[in-house]
Amino acid sequence: MINTAEVNSLIKLLDDPDQEIFDHVHGKLLSYGGEVVEYLEAAWEQAFDPLLQERIANLVHEIQFSLLKNDLKLWFQGGTFDMLQGILIINRYQYPDLDEQKVINQIEAIKRDVWLQMMNEGSPVEQVKLINHVLYNIYGFSGNTTNHQDPQNSYISQVLETRKGNQISLAIIYSIIAQKLDIPVYGVNLPQHFILAYLDESMQSEFESGILFYINAFNKGFVFGRRDVDMFLKQLKLNPDKQFYEPCTNTDIIKRVLRNLISAYENLGSAEKVAELNELLAIVEQP
């Protein structure tokens, strides 16, 4: 049980000019973990001293970032099965106080709308047309072509709010909804582009031969074939490596989201964010 009086007394000492006292107070508050955040946030609202406000804000971020790293480690060590959980953990980096149930409810609402349209079992192409109709026509999702480098394109809560995202965030939403409906659509880690593959699950062989077609979630769910992937790789002067055609893991997807964020924040000159996101990337890059 947290000692409220002790916590509030410690918070008042955060602006102490004595470095030794500050270090002690900082360490003690840090040891409380997530429990102390609400007290710090309340104190921040009442503080008038800019130094105290800054120190409280930094401490809150430090605690939340530490919790986030731990959550990402647990997700990674637990087998990375739940893609939505993984992307919500990344979302916490920018939006630690977000009500994640809201995101889950938004995904469920889109899934339900697709399901209502899909009363009869259609062919794979018909299923994709229905998902496309709901996502792009009814909900109005689209690729953010005007501000492609904006880090907000990588945060699922923002993409669901603005209905605009980059290739990978739109593909993540698309595949989560498809898989919730037992439609076998999975991400493919194509260089400079992230696409989706529709698998024929009746074929138990290697993925390669079991892919019926590909989907471009950034371009309103456009359906295309293997030959188009061949052409794209040829333009990039890349060899047709197996990994560019077949579904990748959830870990690969999270790595790519983190790399996109690192690139976006490098563009903005946010060195601190780049360093922290590299810490997160290191967690999921462990063998």
**Number of domains forming the structure of the chain:** 2
> How high is the pLDDT of residue 203?
57
- Do 183 and 270 fall within a single domain? yes
Same domain flag for 46 and 88: no
Same domain (yes/no): 71, 128 = no
Element (H, E) at 223: strand 222-224
N residues, the chain: 287
* Domain boundary residue, one of 57, 77, 97: 77
Kindly state whether residues 67 and 135 are assigned to the same domain.
Answer: no
Range of the domain at 157: 83-284
Same domain, 89 and 227: yes
87 and 33 in a single domain? The answer is no
Instruction: Based on the fold, state whether residues 40 and 142 are members of the same structural domain.
Output: no
Whether residue 43 is found in the same domain as residue 91: no
Of 175, 191, 181, whose CA–CA distance to 250 is shortest? 175
What pLDDT was estimated at residue 23? 87
Residue at a domain's end among 77, 99, 121: 77
* Residue 206: per-residue pLDDT: 47
Strands 211-216, 222-224: pairing is antiparallel
* C-alpha triplet 67, 108, 167: angle, nearest 5°: 70
CB neighbourhood size of 97 (10 A): 9
Q: Which residues contact 82 (CB under 8 A, 6 or more apart)?
A: 75, 250
205 and 130 belong to one structural domain: yes
* Tens digit of each residue's pLDDT (9 = 90 or more) over 24-78: 888 888 888 888 888 888 888 888 888 888 888 988 999 999 999 999 999 999 9
If asked whether residues 100 and 213 sit together in one domain, one would say yes
Q: What is the mean pLDDT for each group of 10 consecutive residues in the chain (287 residues)?
A: 82 82 86 86 83 87 94 94 96 95 97 88 90 97 91 96 96 97 93 90 58 93 88 82 86 96 96 97 92
Output the six-digit token pair for 280. 């997160």
Is residue 193 within 8 A of residue 254, CB to CB? The reply is no
Query: Is 176:158 a contact under the CB 8 Å cutoff?
Result: no
- 231 and 209 in a single domain? The answer is yes
Asked if residue 255 and residue 136 are part of one domain, the reply reads: yes
